[in-house]
Structure 1
Amino acid sequence: MKNILLPTDFSENAWNAIEYALQLFKEETCNFYIIHSFDQPDSSSYMGVTSAMAKESIYNAQVEFSKQGLRDVLAKVKSTYPNPNHTYKCVSIYKQFKDAVKKVVVDYKIDCIVMGTKGASAIKEITVGSNTAGLIGVVNCPIIAIPKHTQFKGIKEIGISTDYDIEFTEKGLQPLMELAKSNASLISVFHIMDRVKKLTTQQEEKSEILRKLLSNFSANYFTLTDIGVITGVRAFVQSRNLDLLCVIAREQDFLKRILNQSYSKTISSKSNVPLLILNVKNF
């Protein structure tokens, strides 16, 4: 049984990610934890409130807003996607988003987080969304980030971008393998060579380890040369029409390289490809 975390801020994009998750795991027995976190309002009007009673009143209003919002989401889930394989728990928590997710991941032994890349905030999101990016390297479980308006249409092909610079293990690749197995997906591994034209001996060894680990899957291997990382990833995603792109992130270093604003616009907005983000610490 999987434990899946579904963060929501009650936005359209958060609901879209919830729909994606419910369809992605429709054949599996899952516990879904729908979480809404809230903190004290970050506004000049609130900061000017000095009365303890007034602050308590604001807090109580936030609590009721959060709980009612979760009740509404749960009712919508059950009416739109009835599934005897799925159970649900709503969690309203008074913490900043990152701290709330970290706590819930530990408390409920979460296996995977599925969330949207942009929420209801009026602040312009960068990269994969500030909330998503803030979790990279912080939680050990995989994150599936769903771009706005992306609908689940099956996962026929999964791309995985690699520099062949980590020790691949079955444990680290397990989330990718499970998705590929349950969806009978083709795995397309691609390596981008910007300036260097040949793999080092160590890279060759790690490439061979990866091939052995994926030997029971349908897998293709590609090398892109004379092309930058951002352009290369964009070109590969679009030419293959990928259904999911897997990246292995070292906290935020890899994401800083490819998931910048340019990448976000070209990949997340145009291609609408979801991201499976794996934590390198699990390898």
Structure 2
Amino acid sequence: MQIALAPMEGLVDNILRDVLTQVGGIDWCVTEFIRVNDMLLPPSQFHKLAPELQQGAATAAGVPLRVQLLGSDPVCLAENAALACELGAPVIDLNFGCPAKTVNKSRGGAVLLKEPELLHSILAHVRRAVPAAIPVTAKMRLGFDSPDGAMECAIALAEGGAEQIVVHARTKVDGYKPPAHWEWVARVQEVVKVPVFANGEVWTVEDWRRCREVSGVEDIMLGRGLVSRPDLARQIAAARAGIELPAMHWDELMPLIQDFWCQAVGKLTPRSAPGRLKQWVAMLTRSYPEAVELFTALRRESDCAQISRLIGVEQSIAA
């Protein structure tokens, strides 16, 4: 079984990837999507969203990083994939799942699920452009407004050269509304020979067990569930081995929050760093009552020095 950390644009950046992979249980992670339009991007664009490329393409904890590209031009995607490989990407992942309206309007993400032939063309072009030893993978949803074409899309991706397919078990129109339709993941796995990962609505170990039973697949990608419960991958990995681990306590989580804040202050602007911390703490409120109290204290605070005091970080360290 493999457990992956999902690529969530605007949320799981290199800072949160670093912090979450410290906890354990994650086998690999993926960058936020790198948008490809009609040009070869400069290396700086890859390094901006994937600074780990300059550190062996792995987080500090040693978890491998895949580079995800989003676009609709097969030739341009292939050229940028080749460049990403030259920069050190160990795996190229292609995004056919993003539900954002702005992305879909520019012919990217889940809207491409309406065009299985294009999916095949993109995979085939990228597969030919990158070294044979570097895998090409893909992430998809069940469809744009209906799951009826999910199998056709998955077959197009696999026959185009995808070595793994992550299936977010909802359509674009579903967005993130529960439930996730794990039974469709089983149908997708039936029609392709490559490994299929289940993704969507796994918030607890119990959810994972039900997902595995319904989907029939062993591999899983965790998104919001892992951000809200940072030890979820570790717990699932242990459960798979027949071991029951106690949940991470707040006092164990607090050093990670402090680490996140120190990195945010060091890498982001004073204006944007507080918002990133609040974003994560708000998601932690789903699993930790203590996070509710912390979020309430942080909610209207924008001064970095005061935030450092609130979470017990010396300003000299955070600066």
**TM-score by structure 2 length?**
0.29
Query: Larger relative contact order (C-alpha < 8 A, sep ≥ 6)?
Result: 1
Higher fraction of strand: 1
Higher fraction of helix: 2
**TM-score by structure 1 length?**
0.32
